Chains A and B, each alone.
Chain A
């Protein structure tokens, strides 16, 4: 069974930093392309960014609203995905989901999400 478990969410002040983790089991994490997707309270889904596998260059791409502030990384030895969030803004308040991507550019598996609240 594929499981993605996010952690690290919480309350942080504007301008602060937070690092989210996503522990993955049940799939070949080393070969997986992974994404972060967020959902503000009562709002729709928003793609945050993605990281390819090491074999594919481990390249990352972020959505415009988080470019220069958020960094995606991975530790294949720990089967874990990370999202480092710096200079947080109130509009970053959301549930953050990690997803694993399929060959058809789909978000095949999702974690349960972790809530990040940015407020003074």
Chain B
């Protein structure tokens, strides 16, 4: 199972929006509505931001939103804040009780 493809980096100024793509195949992203997104600050454990493509757990601001089209999922961070600077990872169910993560995207707030 190959890792899902994410851009290595993305950036935006405070208050702007940034969108991160996550491209897989019909065997993972395209085949299931089980895409999740995680934020990881340096030296910390990842934190769940989005699940089932576009659902937010309690406590996650609505500045974070998810979507999917075909084999590509996307995470949009609106109203960028300094604390949003982190690594972001997508993850998809890949069938046969397995998961695959994305390659990760480093978001920089300019």
Task: Tell me which of A7-15, A18-26, A44-52, A74-82 binds B.
Answer: A44-52
The answer to whether residues A61 and B38 also contact, given A97-B45, A102-B51, A104-B52 and a CB cut-off of 8 A, is no
Give Cα A49–Cα B55 distance, bound, in whole angstroms.
24
CA distance A102 to B36 in the complex (A): 11
Pick from B15-23, B72-80, B92-100 the stretch touching chain A: B92-100
Q: Are B102 and A44 in contact (CB under 8 A)?
A: yes
**Total interface residues in chain B, CB < 8 Å:** 27
Q: Chain A: which residue is nearest B45 at the CB level?
A: A110
- Report A-chain residues with C-beta under 8 Å of the C-beta of B46: 37, 45, 97, 107, 110
Shortest beta-carbon distance from B23 to chain A in Å: 15
How many of A's residues come within 8 Å of B, CB to CB?
24
Contact with A along B20-54 (1 / 0, CB 8 A): 00000000000010101010100001111001100
When distances are taken between beta carbons in the complex, the residues of chain B under 8 Å from A64 are 1
Residues in B neighbouring A47, C-beta threshold 8 A:
91, 98-101
Cβ contact within 8 Å between B57 and A108: yes
Chain A residues numbered 56-92 whose CB sits less than 8 Å from any CB in chain B: 59, 61, 63-64
CA distance in complex: A59, B48 (Å) = 25
Q: How far is the CB of B56 from chain A (nearest CB, A)?
A: 11
| Identity of the chain A residue whose Cβ is nearest the Cβ of B50 in the assembled complex | A106
Complex Cα gap A61–B38 (Å): 22
* Interface of B toward A, CB cutoff 8 Å: 1, 3, 32, 34, 36, 38, 40, 45-48, 51-52, 55, 57, 89, 91, 93, 96-104
